[in-house]
Amino acid sequence: MGKEWADARRDANVARLRATLATALAGQTGITFELGCGHGHWLAAYAAAHPEEFCVGIDLITHRVERSVRKQTLGKLDNVIFLKAEATEFLEALPAEVSLAKIFILYPDPWPKKKHHKNRFISAANLDLLARRAAGGTRLHFRTDNADYFAWTGEHLAAHPQWQVEPDVTWPFEQKTFFEERMKDR
């Protein structure tokens, strides 16, 4: 019963996202994607600085998405949307004609205990999924303030046949995130 209920819930989430994205991304062929957008500080600033790009930020926490939407509204940004969504459901619901042009994962929960590493988004299966939805030449930009997590992620990316680590690439846009600011006080 539990698995059936979970599968039905996932299917409903994907269907809801598919309908939302069909409208929101009509006419788009490539998007700048932030997985785990938090309160939307970084992506709203990025969208304002890059009006030629259409940006999508997702997060699992409702109040974070609501704060992100407020930033989009106050900034009168018509090239960014924020959605409450789980990453794999979002990627499954993404219209076939829309690819990921840029991918950003900024300061995700590092799940530092080894027994929790299974909760980290970066995994072979999720990297496969991102690669299937990415356009040719798409870069996955990853930042964390946790050195162990950074090294761990680099190892997983380097081991994956469809991604390569480019350590000398200039970061494409500097704007502190809410969580980055919060962590510097600790």
| DSSP code, position 107 | S
Tell me how far apart the alpha carbons of residues 87 and 91 are, in angstroms, rounded to a whole number.
6
Q: Answer for the pair 180, 36: CB distance below 8 angstroms, yes or no.
A: no
Tell me how far apart the alpha carbons of residues 110 and 10 are, in angstroms, rounded to a whole number.
24
DSSP string, 121-132: S-SHHHHHHHHH
Q: Choose, from 7, 109, 145, 168, the residue flagged as catalytic.
A: 109
Q: Answer for the pair 72, 80: CB distance below 8 angstroms, yes or no.
A: yes
**Active site annotation includes 59:** no
CA atoms within 13 A on the CB side of 27: 4
Class of residue 122 by CB neighbours under 10 A (exposed 0-12, middle 13-18, buried 19+): buried
- Give me the active site residues, please: 109
